[in-house]
Amino acid sequence: MSLTATDWRNLSLSALALLAAACLPWVVGNYHLTIGVTIAMYAVLATSWALFSGPTHYISLATAAFFGVGAYVTGIGLQHLPYWVLLPLAGLIGAVMAALVGLATLRLSGVYFVIFTLGLAEFVRQIITWGQNVSGTKGLYVLTSITERDIYWQLLGLAALVWALGWLIGRSRLGFALRIIGDDETVAKHSGINTARAKILLFMVPGAVAAITGAVLAPRYVYIEPALAFTPMLSFQVVIMALLGGTGRLWGPLVGVIPFTFLWEAISISFPNQTTLLLGVAFLLIVYFLPRGFVGLIEDARRRMGSEGAR
């Protein structure tokens, strides 16, 4: 596997951008650092979501399920294990969960998959609520000395990992298989691709990543309860941001996450009671007017400029 000049340029640019982002806590105040954490969190979630859902067109609404489980791994695990063990443990549990969901659903059509993944978060939430009722506890305190800065840096590290992984997958057999499956699953099968295995393998990536993200963010909440950790809003927001940016490129979701986070801040302050409605409207607008997201707009503009230059 050899790297071209363009690869090196993109790699160095990405490294520089990450480095610059890592300096944020020294430059801005607490409020903006909070927004920075939100952006980093959604960048991680949306990018890993798009790794699977982009090529396969399977819309997963399971993000909250994995995220919530990750948060609970930290919440429950802190009393027994060192914090640094909890993150990979959450990833492992998320990956196994994703594999099981994949085994149960990915042979079915896309519609089943959407509904099943949405139900999954609710299902896990109910189990944990039931467990709490049986044991007589309510929420869970997550008390650590981890600061907002630490969380931010951890998320940046995770983002770097997700991008590196996405880049590798994009150049791999698995990535090529997924693109073929997304185009025509019948052709994929008859070309010799084990479509079920490819889909399950790749679905484990957002599963693991969302669980790790939940584990990283748990200390931020201090007190976690099922309704908070498994909120379906999280799953929908991840889908909307990824689609807004565009799933055709690795950097696409990030381009959606940044403006959407600011817009969402403004909306939540001005219309705190209409957020769900506005989220729905945003979804419709994006799907209708920007089917390929900002990535599509940018690439169309580039192509137009390119063809003018050629003339």
Partner 1 sequence: MTEVVLSLRGVTKRFGGLVAVNGMDFDVAEHQVMGLIGPNGSGKSTTLNLISGAFPVSAGRISLRGTPITHLPAQDIARRGISRTFQLVRLLPSMTVQDNVMAGAVFGHRRRWGHEAEGIAQTMLEKVGLGGRGHLRVGQLTYIDTKRVELARALAGEPRVLLLDEWLAGLNPTELETGINLIRALRDEGRTIILVEHVMDAIRSLCDTCVVMAAGSKIAEGTPDQVLSDPAVIRAYLGDDDA
Site residues (CB under 8 A) for partner 1, limited to 136-175 = 173
Work out which of 108, 123, 130, 184 binds partner 1, going by CB under 8 A: 184
Using the rule CB under 8 A, is 190 a contact of partner 1? yes
Work out which of 177, 200, 218, 224 binds partner 1, going by CB under 8 A: 177
Kindly state the number of chain residues that form the binding site for partner 1, as judged by CB under 8 A: 19
- Which tokens in the block code for residue 243? 């689609």
Rounded least distance, CB 194 to partner 1, Å: 5
Rounded least distance, CB 311 to partner 1, Å: 19
CA 141 – CA 217 distance, rounded (Å): 13
- Give the contact letters, 26-55, x = binds to partner 1 (CB under 8 A), - = no: ------------------------------
- Which range in 23-31, 123-131, 188-196, 220-228 contacts partner 1 by CB under 8 A? 188-196
Rounded least distance, CB 190 to partner 1, Å: 5
Using the rule CB under 8 A, is 193 a contact of partner 1? yes
Q: Which is nearer to partner 1, 173 or 302 (CB)?
A: 173
CA 188 – CA 289 distance, rounded (Å): 30
Using the rule CB under 8 A, is 192 a contact of partner 1? yes
Using the rule CB under 8 A, is 194 a contact of partner 1? yes
What is the contact surface with partner 1 in residues (CB under 8 A)? 1, 173, 176-177, 179-180, 182-184, 186-195
